[in-house]
Amino acid sequence: MFNLVSSDWISCPSRVPVLALLVDKDQRNQPSQQQELINCSCPFLARHLTLAIPIIAAILFFFVMSCLLQTSFTDPGILPRATVCEAAALEKQIDNTGSSTYRPPPRTREVMINGQVVKLKYCFTCKMFRPPRTSHCSVCDNCVERFDHHCPWVGNCVGKRNYRFFYAFILSLSFLTAFIFACVVTHLTLRSQGSNFLSTLKETPASVLELVICFFSIWSILGLSGFHTYLVASNLTTNEDIKGSWSNKRGGEASVNPYSHKSVITNCCAVLCGPLPPSLIDRRGFVQSDTVLPSPIRSDEPACGAKPDASMVGSHP
């Protein structure tokens, strides 16, 4: 429905979307709802009602596409993985044996947030303790701040930095779908005046197909918009709601959401209107190997993070 092709990825363990095409090669010959509206309903409604109808449809369409592109191309809040030296230092702090290759059972740390104890889990892939509300996406293979979910429709994770664009996308898409549905119904109703309604349906098969598609898709889109409106008002994420992090879904006692501001308006402003944090991705950096060499470091070799001596440059072992 959104005519978005799958993204190409950088060839490295950490997957970051770098390119997306707007039209899928398998869907180039398939007309979209917007194309059907422009080709069938808009000219008729513009002649018989008002020229504002195609203008409103075009504005909604471009706003939806703008939000879709922003959601797809914006860094969702990916946290860079720990370097080899950082991971080794953290492992030595946790492991009493001092072996950086030892892999103990899952570990957690506890922090206090607004009087509520929050556990920080250790990510064995990124080699770090995840900050609060951070989760590792199995599709993108990255830890994402305020992880909500991975959306296959936009080809990207939805997190701290692009959630506002995602919410604007599904909300505007709901208005666009409802607007198209109303326009098609009006189109068929006006065309059937003074003639048989069944014959009108036979004369406009594209409008009938569009009406059926809109009717079945509008409920899922409206339901998704309503669900995320509830999440925004409660300052929750989809991941937290599914896991029941602050409810009794797990069978235990319900705990208070420490991130809620106890006000719907304040929660909405905090989620949607707060300052956008900077991206932590170094797009010009090089991918470092996440494996430690088994051989010990020789005395004539620089340690982790140390700069090599000028006399060693170009030398051979």
Report whether pLDDT(306) > 90. no
Rounded-to-integer distance, Cα 202 and Cα 195, Å: 12
* Counted domains in the chain: 1
Residue 84 is assigned to a structural domain of this protein: no
Q: Which amino acid is at 13?
A: P
Residue 85 is assigned to a structural domain of this protein: no
- Catalytic amino acids? 151
Residue 215 is assigned to a structural domain of this protein: yes
Residue 311 is assigned to a structural domain of this protein: no
**Per residue in 38-64, pLDDT tens?**
455 667 777 777 888 889 989 999 999
Residue span of the structural domain in which 242 resides: 17-74+162-272
Tell me what pLDDT residue 251 has.
55
Residue 121 is assigned to a structural domain of this protein: no
Pick 100 or 73 by higher pLDDT.
73
- Give me the chain's average pLDDT, please: 76
Section 171-195 average pLDDT: 86
CA distance to 40, 95, 122, 261, per residue, from 105 (Å): 62, 11, 10, 35
Residue 142 is assigned to a structural domain of this protein: no
Tell me what pLDDT residue 240 has.
92
Residue 8 is assigned to a structural domain of this protein: no
Tell me what pLDDT residue 155 has.
92
Tell me what pLDDT residue 24 has.
39
Report whether pLDDT(99) > 60. no
What's the CA angle centered on 239, arms 233 and 240, to 5 degrees? Answer: 60
Section 235-239 average pLDDT: 94
Report whether pLDDT(97) > 90. no
Residue 126 is assigned to a structural domain of this protein: no
